[in-house]
Homo-oligomer: A and B are copies of this chain.
Amino acid sequence: MPQPINLAAKLATFTEHWQPRVVGAFNGHDLKVVKVKGEFTWHHHDDTDDFFLVLQGRLILRLPEGEVRLGPGELFVVPQGVEHCPVAEEEVHLLLIERTGTPNTGDPATAAPRRVI
């Protein structure tokens, strides 16, 4: 039988920050959960929009125009090509959606292995 994907249960399986785990697939995209804390690097994606949905905590997305602040149940899509820098003052849990194969920072040299849970 097909099973639902429980996001909190998936997040409970790991503790590392900034290391997304693939939990599903949708139309050529990876559905990922990730725990983040601290400041990431400024980056952009040449070939994909970047979907962020906050599940727990508060995320700041720094953008060229200013900051977007997201709480639980809030989402934001960073358009393709737009520079952004995610910042989490406390630990934040996110659902991310990106085209399959998109590296974290938009730079192929930084692509981490694809981890599926």
Q: Within 8 Å CB of A113, what residues of B? A: none
CB–CB A73/B31 < 8 A: no
CB–CB A75/B4 < 8 A: yes
Given contacts A27-B48, A51-B26, contact A2 B68 (CB under 8 A): yes
- The oligomer's copy count stands at 2
A43: Cβ under 8 A from any B Cβ: no
- Residues of chain A touching chain B, judged by Cβ–Cβ distance below 8 Å, are 1-8, 24-27, 29, 31, 48-49, 51, 53, 55, 63, 65-66, 68-71, 73-77, 80, 95, 97, 99
CB–CB A75/B27 < 8 A: no
CB–CB A74/B5 < 8 A: yes
CB–CB B26/A74 < 8 A: no
A-B contact pairs, 25 of them (CB 8 A): A1-B65, A1-B68, A2-B63, A2-B65, A3-B68, A4-B68, A4-B75, A4-B76, A5-B74, A6-B73, A6-B74, A7-B73, A7-B74, A8-B73, A24-B75, A25-B77, A26-B49, A26-B97, A27-B29, A27-B48, A27-B49, A31-B75, A31-B77, A53-B95, A97-B97
